[in-house]
């Protein structure tokens, strides 16, 4: 019976990337370097462990050779070079010898012995006065992970051979994990962890792949090859559904695709309310490859280019030239009218394999974003040179993340001006009209918004982090996601403060957090008089359509009703009721 199966196997999570996928599950295990420890009792066990180690090393070499061969057809020198180095290290007698000795002398299992060797290498490398060698620590660690992973045996890390599409099920996916998959074979993502603003979500949205996250233990409930339905709009995952349910969801999938293409018909019309307020609509992108889709979905400019994604799956810093070429591909692409390049927001839950960004206890509040750039000035200057060098292509805005007060933006501008002077003297032509902006995503920046407004040409409110810091909710922790509420009265007041301060100083105020792309929020954001909303491309047609049907007058009336309420629940209740009463045909389907 369809209903019986339906009841038994429906899981509810957070639908974070819309659409429906139906296919076979593939359980993805991240390479973990967490090695078990146990003592070896006798010489036979020691012999066995050494044998296991040899086999795991041989297997690792084999895998690296396969990856290398797969890459040969592409123009990628760096990865091949790194893989060659990996293979050389695995064949290196002293690495093997040292690990074997650990097994013999310390009487520990092979996994633990590998960990000891990796730690010893890392220690030696970190003491050397040579940046290049120090930056190789992460490579040794990667090799260690691979051997340990091969020792563990049963886990799967690469998609199975073949062409058939799969639904990836995992505890969590880092941006690097998603990037290394053959994305054209991935139909859907399902993860235990994550929230609507975690970077897994951001990547799934940018790749337009349906995703449900924050499912807590689903990776234990699904097995590879189970049939799975992922409803990224409703936030449902259905495991081993009956044929009847599959038929229903296939129909739903067709409806979704039809509705999407209908939305696209009007997507390019501007977002002007019936009483004449024009909202600029930008897109958030992580990869230059998303630009055609953003244009198709009606983006008028690039409101946020997350440049740190250049570092996906890299083990070395990109060169200035690579950056410049990349920025040239996102600036001045018609019909997009502007490109906002955000400088690196490395750290937090973003990446990374560079040892300079060693694991921190509290990374969201650690050496992240502008703090990292102001510390690692040479890396920052390279990026600024590259942006300025690419700016001749079209209207460019530079956006600095995580600014918390005036000192930081002043120091940042000083570095920017220094770089400008330097490259002007080398004959590089820099356009006059590059706007400088800051993300408003730290509560102190809201409080200081009136002062900060005199330092820059525009603000962009990053609600993902602003909500995280203001309401003290870890944006990647599924357990506190229920508290994440963009319509919280505190959040609305913070946004209002920013807009008032910005407009008083005659600067534009944009919003580029995920809050901007949720059509349920659109009227409230109109009432707040945000000048530009920037969102993931798929969200654009709906938000634009709502704006075209709405009036400022009704937005203000709705806002006047909610701003005096003191509870988030009441505000959401009222806003949702209003939106469903007046815009139901534009909003995404609510439930199954």
Is 465 one of the binding residues for ligand PEP (CB under 6 A)? yes
Token pair belonging to 442: 């730290």
Which option in Mg ion, ligand PEP, none does residue 513 bind, with CB closer than 5 to 8 A by kind? ligand PEP
Report yes or no: 249 and 20 within 8 Å, Cβ to Cβ: yes
Q: How far is the CB of 189 from ligand PEP (least distance, A)?
A: 18
Cβ 136 to ligand PEP, closest distance in Å? 28
Nearest CA to 562 out of 516, 528, 538 is that of 528
Select the residue interacting with ligand PEP from 139, 177, 231, 345 (CB under 6 A): 345
What residues does 271 pair with on adjacent strands?
279
For 274-280, the CB contacts below 8 A with 24+ separation are 274/548, 274/549, 274/550, 274/551, 275/551, 275/552, 275/553, 277/526, 277/552, 279/526, 279/530, 279/531, 279/532, 279/533, 279/547, 280/510, 280/531, 280/532, 280/533
- 280 touches ligand PEP by CB under 6 A: no
Site map (CB under 6 A) of ligand PEP, residues 140-169, x = contact: ------------------------------
Question: φ and ψ at 434, to 5 degrees?
Answer: -80, 120
Question: Smallest distance, Å, CB 439 to ligand PEP?
Answer: 7
Comparing CB distances to Mg ion, the nearer of 143 and 515 is 515
Site string for Mg ion, 353-372 (x = CB under 5 A): --------------------
Q: Which residues touch 44 (CB under 8 Å, ≥6 apart)?
A: none
Is-catalytic flag, 199?
A: yes
Q: Is 373 a catalytic residue?
A: no
Candidates 205-213, 325-333, 461-469, 486-494; binding stretch for ligand PEP (CB under 6 A): 461-469
- Number of residues located near Mg ion, criterion CB under 5 A: 3
Stretch 436-475 residues interacting with Mg ion (CB under 5 A): 441, 462, 465
Q: Does 9 bind ligand PEP (CB under 6 A)?
A: no
Question: How many CB atoms are located within 10 Å of the residue 254 CB?
Answer: 11
- Choose the one of ligand PEP, Mg ion, none that binds residue 306, judging by a C-beta under 5 to 8 angstroms depending on kind: ligand PEP
From 315, 323, 481, 512, the catalytic residue: 512
For residue 11, CA distances in Å to 7, 241, 474 come to 9, 12, 23
For every residue of 563-586, DSSP letters joined together read TT---HHHHHHHHHHHHHHHHTTT
Of 447, 437, 430, 418, nearest to 387 (Cα)? Answer: 430
Q: Is 463 in the site for ligand PEP (CB under 6 A)?
A: yes
Do 344 and 317 meet the contact criterion of CB atoms below 8 Å apart?
no
Give how far the C-alpha of residue 525 lies from the chain's centroid of Cα atoms, to the nearest Å: 24
Any contact of residue 517 with Mg ion (CB under 5 A)?
Answer: no
Residue 463 contacts which entry, Mg ion, ligand PEP, none (Cβ below 5-8 A, type-dependent): ligand PEP
Q: Among all residues, whose Cβ is closest to Mg ion?
A: 465
150-158, 458-466, 483-491, 569-577 -> range binding ligand PEP (CB under 6 A): 458-466
The smaller minimum CB distance to ligand PEP, of residues 465 and 518, is found at 465
Pairing between β-strand 278-285 and β-strand 271-272 as defined by DSSP bridges? antiparallel
The CA distance from 284 to 281, in Å, is 10
Kindly list the catalytic residues: 199, 512
- Give the binding site for ligand PEP (CB under 6 A): 304, 306, 345, 441, 462-465, 512-513
Q: What is the binding site for Mg ion (CB under 5 A)?
A: 441, 462, 465
């Amino acid at each position: 019976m369809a209903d019986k199966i339906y009841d038994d196997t429906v899981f509810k999570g957070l639908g974070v990337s819309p659409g429906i996928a139906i296919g076979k599950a593939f359980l993805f295990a991240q390479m973990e370097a967490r090695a078990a420890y146990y003592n070896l009792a006798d010489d036979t066990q020691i012999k066995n462990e050494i044998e296991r180690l040899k086999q795991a090393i041989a297997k690792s070499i084999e895998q690296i050779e396969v990856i290398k061969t797969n890459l040969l057809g592409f123009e990628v020198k760096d990865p091949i070079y790194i893989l060659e180095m990996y293979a050389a290290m695995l064949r290196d007698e002293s690495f093997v010898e040292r690990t074997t000795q650990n097994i013999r002398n310390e009487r520990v299992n092979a996994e633990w012995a590998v960990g000891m060797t990796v730690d010893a290498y890392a220690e030696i490398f970190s003491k050397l006065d040579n940046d290049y060698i120090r930056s190789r620590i992460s490579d040794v660690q990667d090799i260690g992970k691979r051997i340990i992973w091969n020792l563990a045996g049963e886990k799967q890390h690469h998609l199975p051979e073949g062409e058939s599409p799969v639904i990836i099920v995992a505890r969590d996916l880092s941006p690097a994990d998603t990037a290394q998959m053959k994305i054209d074979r991935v139909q859907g993502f399902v993860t235990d962890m994550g929230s609507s603003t975690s970077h897994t979500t951001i990547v799934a949205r940018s790749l337009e792949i349906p995703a449900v996250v924050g499912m807590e233990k689903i990776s234990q409930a699904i097995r590879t090859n189970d049939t799975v339905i992922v409803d990224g709009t409703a936030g449902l995952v259905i495991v081993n559904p009956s044929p009847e349910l599959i038929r229903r969801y296939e129909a739903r999938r067709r409806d979704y695709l039809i509705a999407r293409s209908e939305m696209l018909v009007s997507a390019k019309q501007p977002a002007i309310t019936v009483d004449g307020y024009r909202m600029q609509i930008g897109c958030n992108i992580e990869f230059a490859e998303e630009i055609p889709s953003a244009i198709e979905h009606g983006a008028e400019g690039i409101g946020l280019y997350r440049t740190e994604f250049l570092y996906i799956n890299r083990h070395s810093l990109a060169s200035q030239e690579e950056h410049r070429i990349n920025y040239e591909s996102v600036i001045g692409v018609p019909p997009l009218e502007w490109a906002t390049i955000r400088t690196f927001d490395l750290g937090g839950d973003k990446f990374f394999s560079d040892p300079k960004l060693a694991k921190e206890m509290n990374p969201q509040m650690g050496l992240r974003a502008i703090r990292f750039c102001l510390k690692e000035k040479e890396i920052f200057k390279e990026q600024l040179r590259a942006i300025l060098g690419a700016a001749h292509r079209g209207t460019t805005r530079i956006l600095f993340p995580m600014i918390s007060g005036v000192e930081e933006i002043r120091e940042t501008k000083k570095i920017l001006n220094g770089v400008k002077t330097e490259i002007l003297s080398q004959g590089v032509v820099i356009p006059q009209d590059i706007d400088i902006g800051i993300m408003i995503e730290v509560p102190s920046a809201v409080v200081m918004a009136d002062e900060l407004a005199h330092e820059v040409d525009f603000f962009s409110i990053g609600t993902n982090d602003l909500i995280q810091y203001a309401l003290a909710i870890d944006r990647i922790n599924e357990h506190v996601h229920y508290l994440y509420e963009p319509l919280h009265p505190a959040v609305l007041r913070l946004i209002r403060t920013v807009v008032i301060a910005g407009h008083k100083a005659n600067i534009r105020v944009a919003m580029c957090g995920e809050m901007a792309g949720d059509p349920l929020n659109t009227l409230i954001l109109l009432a707040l008089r945000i000048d530009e909303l920037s969102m993931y491309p798929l969200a654009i047609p709906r938000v634009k359509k709502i704006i075209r049907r709405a009036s400022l007058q009704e937005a203000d009336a709705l806002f006047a009703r909610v701003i005096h309420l003191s509870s988030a629940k009441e505000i959401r209740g009222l806003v949702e009721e209003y939106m469903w009463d007046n815009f139901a045909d534009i909003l995404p389907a609510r439930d199954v």
